[in-house]
Chains A and B, each alone.
Chain A
Amino acid sequence: MAANFWTSSHYKQLLDPDKVDVVQRLDKEKGLTLEEFRLIKIHMSLQIWKLALYVKVRQRVIATAITYLRRVYTRKSMTEYDPRLVAPTCLYLASKVEESTVQARLLVFYIKKMYAGASSSDEKYRFEIKDILEMEMKVLEALDYYLVVFHPYRPLLQLLQDAGITDLTQVAWGLVNDTYKMDLILIHPPHMIALACIYIACVLKDKDLTTWFEELRVDMNIVKNISMEILEFFEYCRLDSKGNILIPEDRINAALNKVAAKP
């Protein structure tokens, strides 16, 4: 339900890991590899983040938008659902759901601003209001109208408080942000993701929380597995000096061109 994760549609919609990172048939036919599929999802998550900074919405809205984006591509192909349009549309829909509506025209304005003066490939990011509104309905349908999403942020703060390590808040919060570059939110309950982030934060900051973790009634193996996945992801991505993911633009464009609708 709306406030109880265990009775929510989010919980019921959680997917098996092998159901998540699967390239849709249509995309496969166009030659899209799993690697490229992942890259596009990471790239689009970052685009949502960037656009959100312009329109100034809360973290939660961004997280919900990225969750929608990732959910869409467990069901729909990038060939039919252009990621460059789906990404801002997810932010648009999420802003309505999270009660901080961003007007479509404002979104379109900032998209244009974001890509102004950029290379010709960036023109493909430009859309009109009408495109967003049409895609909004398609996204709603693709999500099967399940819109309530739970995030690790709230459990994270509660757990940090409980463990008495609120000094780790910033590190752990940043780690939670990073998990949205992956599909974890589609697979694991949010509090488990929060615990994994705390676990990593403890390792990074040399804190021993073994007893606290033991007293929690959770399967530590799952927490450790999620942590491993996050760390593996960090290794997989090359980070720049500010900790941002670097994806070569030409690789992204090559991948996006494969699924671009027009030949």
Chain B
Amino acid sequence: MGDGRSGGGGVNRPAWLQQYDLVGKIGEGTYGLVFLARTSLRKCCIAIKKFKQSKEGDGVSPTAIREIMLLRETCHENVVKLVNVHINHVDMSLYLAFDYAEYDLYEIIRHHREKLNHSINQYTVKSLLWQLLNGLNYLHSNWIIHRDLKPSNILVMGDGEEHGVVKIADFGLARIYQAPLKPLYENGVVVTIWYRAPELLLGAKHYTSAVDMWAVGCIFAELLTLKPLFQGVEAKATPNPFQLDQLDKIFKVLGHPTPERWPTLVNLPYWQNDQQHIQGHKYDNHGLHNFVTVPQKSPAYDLLSKMLEYDPRKRITAAQALEHEYFRMDPLPGRNALVPSQPGEKIVNYPARPVDTTADFEGTVAVQPSQPVSSGNAASGNIAAASVAPSRSMPRAMHVVGMQRMPNTGMSTFNVAPQAGIGAPSSGNIPIPRGAAVQAHQQQLRRKDPSMGMQNPGYPQQKRRF
């Protein structure tokens, strides 16, 4: 249906695409492209992820299938919402439409590190973490492991009814782990290496939701210190999951793992055959406290160290973490993570997502035919983050040439439509003290904020309309 597509591009779009006004391209990965669009009807923002037909002649990529399959089943305030799926039978491309999220943790952290030079306020850190755990607890209790949690996959909603609400995105690597058909370990490597759990690095063949909790621990530390906790250099050449440098980075912070603390350690392949002498190398036990900014006796530190527990069986679960003392003391976590609890506190204006307004839905501007495309079936670890957010294969500062910042004012004028599940999150009780008035005030502040222009003085004035 609605395949009436001529080769033209922007004008003669398939019928189903006409319900969207394209704003521009916001991301790109091996799987395809991500666009920002507005629904013609409700004027709300939608992120459209376009999957290319895999070159290998193997149809819809397994990544897309997994994402559709899981997101068609999930419904939670802290999990990204798949609002539509479209198929273009002419070029066999597949489009997933999501509620658009303006921010992600990668950009939020980067903004603090590079522009503001001050840490993220405690309320925001705690609210972001609480909501991330809340979404993760939902996934885990439904036997879904995300497997690729990293700051760029944790989205945060922009202005609107869901302002400051965390959405876990990018389910391209996620799995249902109840009765797996084959061991979850595959040839492909899973999870960006900085957030990869030690049991995976040591070659564990069967693993659990604990790998997600390790990633959350790394993200928590990064929210506190603004820099990745374990920045290992990936050994790309090796097809195996053994990453010596990443393990080295972890051991330097947390000390050497011991079979006493982690009994099943001795069964892990790379510990066992130990060709790299990881057993013998001695690490001074530096202690995590030297690397993070929170006091060693604080609940925050306690929670963090429980997430970064070596033994996956002892590692804190999402459900347990939500009950941790850290979340019961002031400031209490809230639904709008971006609005500080203290009335007098400064509100941070995060930059809107860069939008390349020169691209069209076919991606004719952005995608060069010669672009190397690794197949959708390739080892999953090589698939760059297939999230609604712009993806990065490595969370390093990326500057996409030709990308422009959307002027902030333009973005705040339309509201993200309210959606189902606007009530309090399903488990736990977040106090929601901030009313609409505060939000309106905050929006106003945003509009006045000149920081956008100052950060990026060179951005062009014109905005192309589609």
Contacts and interface: CB of A to CB of B under 8 A. Distances in A.
B94 interface: yes
B428 interface: no
A29 to B, nearest CB: 21
Nearest to B176: A2
Interface in B177-198: 178-182
Contacts of B74: 1-2
B323 interface: no
Contacts of A148: 69-70, 72-73, 176
B175 interface: yes
Contact of B68 (A61, A98, A136, A147): A147
Interface stretch (B58-66, B104-112, B229-237, B260-268): B58-66
Nearest to A147: B69
A134 to B, nearest CB: 7
A23 interface: no
Contacts of A147: 65, 68-69, 72
Contacts of A137: 59-60, 87, 89, 92, 94
Contacts of B69: 97, 147-148
A134 B142 contact: no
B73 A1 contact: yes
A60 interface: yes
A101 interface: yes
Contact of B65 (A9, A97, A104): A97
Nearest to B84: A145
B57 A105 contact: yes
B87 A141 contact: yes
A134 B178 contact: no
Contacts of A146: 72
B73 A145 contact: no
B378 to A, nearest CB: 12
B144 interface: yes
A163 B260 CA distance: 41
Contacts of B142: 1-4, 7
A101 B59 CA distance: 11
Given A133-B59, A133-B92, A100 B73 contact: no
Contacts of B68: 140, 145, 147
A31 B104 CA distance: 57
Nearest to B56: A103
Contacts of A61: 181
Contact of B181 (A60, A134, A154): A60
B47 to A, nearest CB: 17
B301 interface: no
Contacts of A93: 65
A92 interface: yes
B377 interface: yes
Interface residues of A, number: 35
Contact of B73 (A8, A96, A98, A104): A8
B85 interface: yes
A2 B144 contact: yes
Contact of B57 (A2, A96, A104, A141): A104
Contacts of A154: 179
A132 interface: yes
Interface in A52-107: 58, 60-61, 92-93, 96-101, 103-105
Nearest to A135: B59
B92 A101 contact: no
Interface in B47-105: 53, 57-60, 62, 65, 68-70, 72-74, 85, 87, 89, 92, 94
Could you say which of B57, B59, B182, B377 has the most chain A C-beta atoms within 10 Å of its C-beta?
Answer: B59
Interface string A144-166: 01111000001000000000000
Given A140-B60, A148-B69, A99 B180 contact: yes
Contacts of A138: 89
Nearest to A141: B87
Nearest to A132: B59
- Residue among B58, B87, B94 with the most chain A CB within 10 A? B58
A187 interface: no
B182 A100 contact: yes
Nearest to B71: A145
Contacts of B180: 99
B143 interface: yes
Q: Which of B53, B73, B142 has the most CB of A within 10 A?
A: B73
Contacts of B70: 2, 148
A104 B92 CA distance: 15
A21 B393 CA distance: 49
A129 interface: yes
Nearest to A98: B181
B60 to A, nearest CB: 6
Contacts of B377: 101
Residue among B53, B89, B176 with most chain A CB within 10 A: B176
A127 to B, nearest CB: 13
B60 A136 contact: yes
B59 A99 contact: no
A147 to B, nearest CB: 4
Given A2-B70, A60-B181, A140-B60, 11 more contacts: A58-B181, A93-B65, A96-B59, A96-B65, A98-B181, A101-B58, A101-B62, A133-B58, A136-B60, A146-B72, A148-B70
Interface of A: 1-4, 7-9, 58, 60-61, 92-93, 96-101, 103-105, 129, 132-134, 136-138, 140-141, 145-148, 154
23 contacts: A1-B74, A2-B73, A2-B74, A2-B178, A3-B143, A7-B142, A92-B59, A96-B60, A97-B65, A97-B69, A99-B175, A103-B58, A104-B57, A105-B57, A129-B57, A132-B59, A133-B92, A137-B92, A140-B85, A145-B85, A147-B68, A148-B72, A154-B179
Interface of B: 53, 57-60, 62, 65, 68-70, 72-74, 85, 87, 89, 92, 94, 142-144, 175-176, 178-182, 377
**7 closest A-B pairs by CB:** A3-B143, A147-B69, A1-B142, A133-B59, A2-B176, A136-B59, A3-B178
